[in-house]
Structure formats: structure tokens, C-alpha cells
Amino acid sequence: MEPRDAELKKELDATLHARRELGEDYDSVLVDSFLEKVEQRLDGAVDRRVRRQLAEQQMVVARGARSPQSADSWGERFGFGMVSLILAIPLSAIGAVNAGIPGLLITWVGIVGVNGVHAMHGLPRFFRREKSSSDWED
């Protein structure tokens, strides 16, 4: 078990222990608190991944090579979709509990929007006109 997983397991154990001591009245508060910690952990992992990819792209560009193509592999798209669906469950619950049906709808509009933007990430090259050297000359 990774050290980070051990920390998260300790947090979960502490949350469950607090739930046993405090009773069912505090379930939503305890779950929200734990989900916030999980979200912070995920945000940190995503930030590290984005920084690493940006650094790799900058190194490739600095070396004079072509800009790397976006990581457009089936595996990454599948992974993004799976993570999105997994996160949709607690986000849907939070949206529904806090704002009812409108909150649930807003949550799903956001989820669909994020997935749509991710899916469209590779498409701009079809819609964007590449500038040739003659485009810069007047």
C-alpha cells in the first residue's frame, strides 16, 4: 500500500470512528468532509500530471522539435471517462442533497461539459487554419 493510500485509509477510519461516536445525525457532514479530502488528493494528482506534461511539451518545443501531439490514445480517453463516471457518483449526491433536482442537473451539465471539452481537445486542428509563411507577409 502506498503511503498516500495509507493516509487516506487513516482518514476513512477516523471518519468511520467519528460516525460511530456521533451517530447518524452527522453522516452528511462526515461524508462531505471525507470527500473534500479525496477531492484535494485528486486535485493534487491532476496538478502534478498537468505540470509534468507541460514541462515535457516545453522541452520538446525548446529542442526545436514539433509540438507533441496531444495524448490522444484510447487508453487515456477511456481512463478519463472512467474517472469522470466514478467522480460523478459523489458529485451527483452532493448536488442532489444540497440543491435537489436543479443541483443534480447542474452537476450533470458540468460533467457532460468537461467530457465534451476533453473529447473536442483533438478536434481544433480540423477547424483551425494553419498559418503558412505567406500568411505573415503583407
Query: Residue 134 falls within a domain, yes or no?
Result: no
Q: What's the structural domain count of the chain? A: 2
Cell of 8: 487516506
Ranges 4-8, 50-54, 82-86, 96-100: which has the least confidence: 4-8
State pTM to two decimals: 0.40
pLDDT digits (tens, 9 = 90+) for 36-63: 888 888 888 888 998 999 888 888 888 8
- Domain around 85: 71-128
Q: Do 62 and 124 fall into the same domain?
A: no
Q: How many CB atoms lie within 10 A of CB 6?
A: 10
Q: Do 56 and 94 fall into the same domain?
A: no
pLDDT digits (tens, 9 = 90+) for 123-134: 655 554 555 444
Q: Do 87 and 119 fall into the same domain?
A: yes
